Structure 1
Amino acid sequence: MARRMMSLLPQRSSRVFSVELNGAPFYFSTQEAHRGEEVPNVFRETQPDTRCYSLLVCSSDTIRRAKFYGDLKEKLLRDLPPECHLSPMCSFLPNVRDSLLKGYFLKDNSESSSPTERLLKDLTQRDPVLVCSYLRGEHGHLWTQHLWSPADSQTMEKSKDFYVVPSEAPEYHPSTLNIINSDVFYSFEEAYDVLKKCGDIIPEATSVLELLPSRAEARSKPDFPVIVIEGLDATGKTTLTESLRETLGASLLRSPPQCLSPMRARFDREPPLIRRAFYALGNYITAEQIGQEGRKTAVIVDRFWHSTAAYAIATAVSGPVCNLPAEGSEVYRWPSDLLQPSLVVQLTVDPEERKRRLRGRGLGTTEEEQELDHNQLFRLKVEKAYQRIIGPACVTVDASPSADQVLQQVLLLIRGKCHL
């Protein structure tokens, strides 16, 4: 771990830091000399007796890093004094992929620094975490960043303090630098590798791997058309897919596949890297089933890769819709080794109508679906991500009219596109 921290030191003055306050990112950077810059916004509102710290998870082991970051917030909330306030933060090299380090920014308003600093020092001894303290200069006009070194490391030189200065927002939201094969998976092998590494710590991972098809089976092209129906919960997917199955005499499949249902609750508790790999592999199992059923008849699929990707992208990228990767970005491309459907239909309804339908159903929803209900911004980001995915792109259909009207509209699309 000491070597890993040393490897970050030459990059330190090139890195940008982002702290999330009330859903908005505030950026700052560090430099060796101060040139009269203003105090960064994240420090400007701090009280004279407030102490500030940052914690960044920096293990080179991606699984360990994901697991530790997932547990870190709970540990800090449990063990820190109640006067401490946590905010999500990250550090990254602008426009450099896979340079993102995630962590937390801590403002400590407790009477004594001892309990907080004891906990942070303990973290640097045992865990893959990089801790910095921020020191206020005279009159609060200057702030410096001090990198903590593990006390038991005799090989590390004492780190130099850097001045903290404001930084402009980067060209790309920092999370977009880390989406590929982390929040969204674009190949069987990348997702498989994550779950394979989890076998020792998550027994269910081995069970998932035993269900997986070969890569060739996940890409085998069916003889009959494949129609995917996408959309948020309560947009009418179940009603429409059942009607299409009956009308067309088609097979109906759902993603994630039924065989993964016993493991879903376990993986939903895992950090995004592991959870997303699980759902990505579910798409490959569904693709194998599509290939088999598609030899005999047309196949209707209730959700597929579009859902997996859209929710992951919207969750990973904080802030407004404009923070999403731009249209045409590689994050919206279809995995080259995954079967492509003939047609993807995205059902949409007015948000209030969707809420009314959800209340009428009275069913439990996933954490992400609950987020849709009270966070309009998240819903807009999910819908925008849906619209930007290509290979194939979604055809949007208003599902507000009667179920029969929606069915007839979708049948027209299918007959025009798939010649059924």
Structure 2
Amino acid sequence: MTFSDLPPETEELRQRTRRFIRETVIGAEPAPGGRLDQATRDRLRTAAKEAGVFAPLVPREYGGQGLSPAHWSPVLQEAGYSPIGPSVLNCMAPDEGNMHMLHLIATEEQKKRYLAPLAAGDVRSCFGMTEPHPGAGSDPAALRTTAVRADGGWIVDGHKRFTSGAIGAAFCIVMARTPAVDGAPEGATMFLVDLTNPGIRVGEAIHTVDRAIDGGHPHLYLEDCFVPDDAVLGEVGLGFRYAQVRLGPARLTHCMRWLGLARRAHDIALDRAARRELFGGPIDTLGLAQHLIAESVIDIETSDAIITKTAALLHGDPKAGSAMSSVAKVHCSEAVFRVIDRAIQICGGDGVSDGLPLAQYLNEVRPFRIYDGSNETHRWAIARRASAARGAAVRAGEPYRGDALISQGGNA
């Protein structure tokens, strides 16, 4: 992995992160299928702070490295080379996305109360959007959690599920439907809800195949949950707009972290293919293995390229970047899975055993095709945008090529 065009300061951070992950973090990884324990995480986070690699995306005024969004990818790929790397470096979902949104839209008092301890790694957080059917899931407009005005605040009622990170979190950013009130439109509103609030309760865990996200993916119940007016994050009724501030970059940072893990899997496969002999020579001299290796290189490089393009768009044209993040999410989530699956194939029986971590890597990345909106939903949105863009171009005077081909007797 080479990033010759990075600013010197960013390249130094990437190199420090690379060394820290390989020399300090990898040796502390839990066995395949296990979870990072609190004591080990705290020890590694202290070491990360001392190494100057902690909280790479967090602004410097909150103790982070202040990395520019345009340069997130090289550093997050290095962090993602270990499945526990992002958690150790405090750049893992959902905290990373929550910190990004809090920095952009929270009040100064909210930043002091919620962003500062989150950036320091003193607390964890969660994001309450997904609900049981027929509530919000791939379709956020189906939101059923409600918040109504009360004296001095709001009463929130609802049921969330797949609330990633909720077990042990200090607070949740809850999305709730609100009526038109005090000049604000009917819509969705975000609320900062402390998990010590008696009206909110972490419910039963949902057991999934992934292990990297601290705090699991449990149910969350809000029953007559009172929050004061200063718990509103942003403006009342604009929650869906603010969600895009979080979701577009969050999809992309998932791609960055998991691409780092795909590179790790590919390196494991390359090492095995170079050392192990089959039919009179190393595996990497066999055509079938070379095909698998080449396909993985293609998947890694195309993923890297689309991440870079999307990051540039998010930085310069957030609306276009958010749309492109759907393309990146679909491509990268499937490409990363293919890379790890090929690595398993190259490693044979060991690949599906707990002697290597590859099978657990597959478990970690498989849910990404569902999390942050299913790939099918993103494909639907991508197709709609493509059709709408072409329709607008035709209405603006561009030729309708289908008619042109038919009139010329050509083949469609």
The answer to whether the superposition gives a TM-score over 0.5 is no
Instruction: Give the structure-2-normalised TM-score.
Output: 0.25
Please state which structure has a larger fraction of its residues in strand: 1
Please state which structure has a larger fraction of its residues in helix: 2
Instruction: Give the structure-1-normalised TM-score.
Output: 0.25
Give the number of the structure with larger relative contact order, counting CA–CA contacts within 8 Å between residues 6 or more apart. Answer: 1
Q: Which has the larger radius of gyration?
A: 1
